Amino acid sequence: MSLTADFKAFIVEQMQGFASVTLQPMFGGAAVKHNGLTFALLDDDTLYLKADERNRPDFEAEGLPPFTYQSKNGPMLIKGYHRAPPSCLDDPDEMTRWCRRSYEAAVHAAAHKRQTPP
C-alpha cells in the first residue's frame, strides 16, 4: 500500500463540501474519518467509500469493485468498502453526495454495533 501526500490533500479538499475530515494512517494507507467514524479508506492513491446493504447497489450499478489488498495469504476482499466513482474526483457535488451515503452507512454500522450484545 502506498499513498501520496498530494492525493491525501486532494481528497481532503474535495470532501470539504461534505464535511471537515481527518486522515488516520493505516497500514500504508489512511482511514478517512468524520466525527470519529471511518467512512472511507485511501490506498494506492485510490478512494474507497463505506458500503452497506442500503448503498451497495449504487456501487454495484456503477461496476465499482470492493476494496482488496494483498496479504501474505493472497488477496483479501473487504466488502464493506467499494472504489469511489471517478465522478467523485472530478465533481465536488458528486463527492458530497457519495460521502453522505457512506457516512450514513458508517453511522448505521456504529449504531448496530452498540446494539449487538458481546
The whole-angstrom separation of Cα 86 and Cα 79 is 19
> What are the backbone dihedrals phi and psi of residue 92, each rounded to the nearest 5 degrees, phi first?
-60, -30
Q: Alpha carbon of 59 to those of 2, 68, 104: distances in Å?
A: 24, 15, 15
Note if the pTM is more than 0.85.
Answer: yes
pLDDT digits (tens, 9 = 90+) for 10-60: 999 999 999 999 999 988 899 999 999 999 999 999 999 999 999 999 999
Q: At 28, list the grid cell.
A: 500504508
Question: 43 forms bridges with which residues in the sheet?
Answer: 46
Question: 8 forms bridges with which residues in the sheet?
Answer: none
